[in-house]
Structure 1
């Protein structure tokens, strides 16, 4: 079995003023969007990629220049307890994938509700297409952060394929209802 590829980590250690709280919330949101995980308060880590380095450098600069805070960005390829850090990072991605899986289940239930109510309209079809497009976009964002290959990613691919099949079946029913109404 091959050894796991070593990961270079970027670690942001920062301090922002406690007031206004929107500053801390802004930093938290940016780190969450990047997919970074917190090791403790005000210490976040992410695998080093060109995108993560760009975003963390920009955030560090913003904390120092615009938020009157302090921030240090370190890069390391040697982390004692790295397997725990990898597990923490992958668990965060799996949590995001779980949310998508839950929304896929909601998608199926929503379409089933329309079928039970016999709402075979183009409006419903368009709404369901938009919902599936949003799910796929959400998955793409999480997948982009999933640079270490979290386990649940493949489940989401299958779930999205199942959603697409459900949408195809619903579209066929809408077209059939339209054809019946015209005849």
Structure 2
């Protein structure tokens, strides 16, 4: 085994077939694979880097596909050829997720800016913004958790989240200043 072979990631590959009707069954499997961070190598063939958590999740999904009346095989191994394609696809998916975090952060900052324009400095608005910020932070944490190979875009997403945190803190300070005590 060469050093390059020792460095190659191992993958879990789920190959499945689900009856075409009802279509919600197919979309359920697709959504669950996407939520795990899996990439599609082709129709009904999803791959994830091997980990105990990924294996548990894919075993459960396989079980659920069988319950839907479909068939599924879960494979474990390294690519003999084409590993660079699988890895590049996985990296691109993570980079796209980081870019989406940046986009959503821009939307968050625009919403906070609107609160200033409308002079909406209430605890209710603050709570809503805190909930939105927490969703962004939690989503980022899920992406980082599955970013096993250091995809591009992480530092930009971290910087965007830091701007959101700062904007939220400034907005909170303004709410505390504007909102009378006891309300």
Report the TM-score when normalising by structure 2.
0.89
Residue in structure 2 matched with residue 6 of structure 1 by the alignment: 8
Residue in structure 2 matched with residue 40 of structure 1 by the alignment: 42
Tell me how far apart the structure 2 counterparts of residues 15 and 130 of structure 1 sit (CA, whole Å). Answer: 38
Provide, for residues 77-118 of structure 1, a one-character-per-residue CA deviation record: whole Å limited to 9, x for no partner.
234111121110111111122221111001111111111222
Residue in structure 2 matched with residue 22 of structure 1 by the alignment: 24
Which of 41, 51, 64 matches 1:62?
64
**C-alpha root-mean-square deviation of aligned residues, in Å?**
2.1
Residue in structure 1 matched with residue 102 of structure 2 by the alignment: 101
Residue in structure 2 matched with residue 170 of structure 1 by the alignment: 171
Tell me how far apart the structure 1 counterparts of residues 100 and 160 of structure 2 sit (CA, whole Å). Answer: 12
Tell me how far apart the structure 2 counterparts of residues 178 and 27 of structure 1 sit (CA, whole Å). Answer: 47
Is the contact between residue 123 and residue 179 of structure 2 (CA under 8 Å) also seen in structure 1? no
Matched residue SS, 2:72: strand
Unaligned runs of 5+ in 1: none
Tell me how far apart the structure 2 counterparts of residues 18 and 178 of structure 1 sit (CA, whole Å). Answer: 56
Q: Aligned residue pairs: how many?
A: 179
Unaligned runs of 5+ in 2: none
Tell me how far apart the structure 2 counterparts of residues 72 and 53 of structure 1 sit (CA, whole Å). Answer: 12
Matched residue SS, 1:73: strand
Residue in structure 2 matched with residue 121 of structure 1 by the alignment: 122
Is the contact between residue 8 and residue 83 of structure 2 (CA under 8 Å) also seen in structure 1? no
Report the TM-score when normalising by structure 1.
0.89
State the 4+ residue runs in structure 1 displaced beyond 4 angstroms: none
Shift of 1:176: 2.4
Shift of 1:39: 0.8
